[in-house]
Structure 1
Amino acid sequence: MRNAAVRALTGGVLALGAPGLLGGCGLLGGDNSAQVCADTRKAFEQYITQVRSVAANKPEQWKQATEQLAGKVEGLSGQAENPELKKALKEEGGRLRGAATSVGTGDAAQLNTVITQTPQRIGRACA
């Protein structure tokens, strides 16, 4: 579980910073999107650092870390001034909460799916 999930997470976070996704976020809007997008990327980077040290046979720790990330993403949703970004982050927080439940049982499939799709979903709101 661990290696596949960490690979998906790493690729997802790298894509969050790619040009056209979170890289140019909020430049034209005049709102706080650039900062919220940067904070979102940082939250995912911190999550990767945290789960890299968690053994695959410790699903409760994966669940806890994923729930914390969901909370951070939902919190960022509340800070976002841009309605599209606010919605994208709120939905992503919900997806992460669902993934936390399954990863807590040792099933990383949903987490892998969520993390793989995160850059595209949040990136659209940040472009």
Structure 2
Amino acid sequence: MTTSRVHNVLTIAAASLTALSKAPLWLALTIALPPVLIALARIFNEVLAGISRYRTASMRCRQEDRLLSGATDIGTALAYLERVQAQPLAPSAAGEPTATPTNVADPPPATPP
């Protein structure tokens, strides 16, 4: 945007807010509330997505630690971890669904000592 456009947008916004302040409360809320609610919904969605990414990373880290702690055969554990990390858990940023791995939380079968 050029400077004149920014100045025009700010002038129009100031004029709208002045007009809106003189309008009845129900009309002001009808005009101003939907964008605020949409912004709150987007923020809430981003927070939930962040929590989901954190929990997924935490789950994978705990699973890697458990598998590599010596409870199972290290070769089997590494092959399983490689297979799990090759498959993404969440849909891509473009909103296209990706293949979700099956039984990600299930460890590979343990070999008896």
TM-score if structure 2 supplies the norm length? 0.38
Higher helix share: 1
Larger radius of gyration: 2
TM-score if structure 1 supplies the norm length? 0.34
Report 1 or 2 for greater relative contact order, CA contacts < 8 Å, sequence distance ≥ 6.
1
